[in-house]
Amino acid sequence: MRYIPTTDQDRKEMLKSLGLQSVEELFDDVPDRVRLQGELNLPSAQTEYELFKSLKSLAEKNNNLEQYPSFLGAGAYGHLIPSAVQHILSRSEFYTAYTPYQPEISQGVLQAIYEYQSLICSLTGMDVANASLYDGATALAEAAVLAGEATKRKKIFLPMTIHPEYRMVTQLYLENRGMEVIQIPHDKGQTDLNYLKDNINEEIAGVLIQQPNFFGILEEVKEVASLTQKFGALLVVSVNPISLGILEAPGHYGADIAVGEGQGLGNPVAFGGPFLGFFATRDRFIRQIPGRIVGATKDIEGKRGFVLTLQTREQHIRRQRASSNICSNQALNALAATVFLCLVGKKGLQEVANLCLQKAHYAYRKITSIKGYSPLFTQPFFHEFPIQTPDSPEVINKVLLEKGIIGGLDLKRHYPELGPSMLLCVTEARTKKEIDTLVQALENYHE
């Protein structure tokens, strides 16, 4: 956006045309008690150099993931990012582009989105993917909504092994659409299949499942899929895309909708985001997909081109009757995912996933052999695992931080019944030395 300064003269003229004396008069309608009295609490003007230094020293108060090895995952994952990702993202044609409504001037952005959709389809084994959503949580909620619309049924199964925040978002969406959420308890960190078997019936619109689940554990997705299909419900799988380097694609075991958080694909962990929700499904649901789809076509001269093909369910056209009222997608984050996937390739993704698996299992073996630390669950896992801790994780994490290590997630916040336990995550970005340092720190914890 252009910055257009106003001079005192400009302001005077504007006020005059409004018939006002001062800027204060413009705000007369705002009651005094809620108005800022006096000046903003800001230091006086600084030179560029002074300003740069003071902002830098403020920024340095934050601990960052380059200095501190992090074993915290739980939905936001620190992976290695090839530097070309940032370079391509920094091209102004991409980062200044808003929604590419005008295909004739947005071919680059449209092509990038088209490639992204294609990559998400190959990754998930699905027919069609949209141009991205806000995050993994809203993508899951939108998928549950689609299951309801497509089956004309009103009940959704939501296992307790799904990310607790995803569950909260989904619950909020569904309740306000008159749908009922039925929670499925977990059995040793896995969705309780017996509960599912005993309770599923023809009133269920969809079964949601996370693979790997919030505890990092692998769910019995094939069994869930066959149960779901038997009763005509839709299977919605929320996947960690990196894990698809070694795990089967949801499209291959019968998922109707595959969603997830794409942050791990070339997007750094940055406070609360931005995140990237992906959404892929079967051809037959193409008109019920939230958001938009970019398609490839030919122009009058036969040249290949790209256009927004399906966007008529969107808020700017359908208003209150849109499939989804999230109108913007995450084009720049989707571009990061596209560049990341293209750079690492099939084999590279497999290697990343395998390294995550191997390193996490190495850490798991080391940590669970320390006195006082034992596995919370013993089911197969990918790159996250919960362990019982001898003390409150809050205290342990404080000690770890003093040694320059970011520990795991205290599970008390979402699962108080599990006792003192933390969820640890190990990605390919952690070195053996960092893992050994963590193990050492946990071992020496009481000293």
Partner 1 sequence: MYPEDRYYTKSHEWIKVEGNHATVGVTYYAQEQLVEVVFVELPEPGMEVKAGDGIAVLESVKAVSDIYAPVSGTILEVNKKLEDQPELINKDPYGEGWIFSLEIIQKEEIDKLIRATEYQSHIKNEPK
Q: Which is nearer to partner 1, 218 or 322 (CB)?
A: 322
Radius of gyration of the chain (CA): 25
153 binds partner 1, rule: CB under 8 A:
no
Q: Alpha-carbon distance 156 to 173, whole Å? A: 12
Size of the site for partner 1 (CB under 8 A): 7
Position among 15, 183, 246, 318 found at the interface with partner 1 (CB under 8 A) = 318
Interior angle at CA 138, CA 341 and CA 143, nearest 5: 85
Q: Alpha-carbon distance 116 to 295, whole Å? A: 11
**CA 379 to chain centroid:** 25
Q: Considering the complex, what minimum distance in angstroms separates the CB of residue 258 from partner 1?
A: 24
321 binds partner 1, rule: CB under 8 A:
yes
**Coil/strand/helix, residue 15:** helix
317 binds partner 1, rule: CB under 8 A:
yes
Q: Considering the complex, what minimum distance in angstroms separates the CB of residue 101 from partner 1?
A: 10
Q: Considering the complex, what minimum distance in angstroms separates the CB of residue 236 from partner 1?
A: 22
Handedness of CA 426, 430, 433, 434 (dihedral sign): negative
Q: Alpha-carbon distance 191 to 279, whole Å? A: 23
167 binds partner 1, rule: CB under 8 A:
no
Q: Alpha-carbon distance 277 to 137, whole Å? A: 8
Q: Considering the complex, what minimum distance in angstroms separates the CB of residue 180 from partner 1?
A: 21
Q: Alpha-carbon distance 203 to 231, whole Å? A: 8
Question: Looking only at residues 281 through 300 of this chain, which bind partner 1 when binding is defined by CB under 8 A?
Answer: 287
Could you tell me if 427 and 216 are in contact, meaning their C-beta atoms sit under 8 angstroms apart? no
What string marks each residue from 200 to 239 as x (binds partner 1 by CB under 8 A) or -? ----------------------------------------
Q: Which is nearer to partner 1, 142 or 314 (CB)?
A: 314
Q: Considering the complex, what minimum distance in angstroms separates the CB of residue 152 from partner 1?
A: 8
312 binds partner 1, rule: CB under 8 A:
yes
371 binds partner 1, rule: CB under 8 A:
no
Q: Which is nearer to partner 1, 287 or 433 (CB)?
A: 287
325 binds partner 1, rule: CB under 8 A:
no
Piece of 113-121, 164-172, 189-197, 310-318 that binds partner 1 (CB under 8 A): 310-318
Could you tell me if 142 and 290 are in contact, meaning their C-beta atoms sit under 8 angstroms apart? yes
Q: Which is nearer to partner 1, 6 or 297 (CB)?
A: 297
Q: Considering the complex, what minimum distance in angstroms separates the CB of residue 167 from partner 1?
A: 31
Position among 153, 313, 359, 430 found at the interface with partner 1 (CB under 8 A) = 313
Q: Considering the complex, what minimum distance in angstroms separates the CB of residue 291 from partner 1?
A: 15
C-alpha closest to that of 390 among 406, 411, 417, 370: 370
Q: Which is nearer to partner 1, 30 or 317 (CB)?
A: 317
Cβ neighbours for 96, distance < 8 A, ≥ 6 positions apart: none
Q: What are the angstrom distances between the C-alpha of 51 and each of 45, 61, 62, 64, 66?
A: 9, 16, 18, 22, 24
Q: Considering the complex, what minimum distance in angstroms separates the CB of residue 292 from partner 1?
A: 13
What does the DSSP assignment read for 143-169? HHHHHHHHHT--EEEEETTS-HHHHHH
By CB under 8 A, name the binding residues for partner 1: 152, 287, 312-313, 317-318, 321
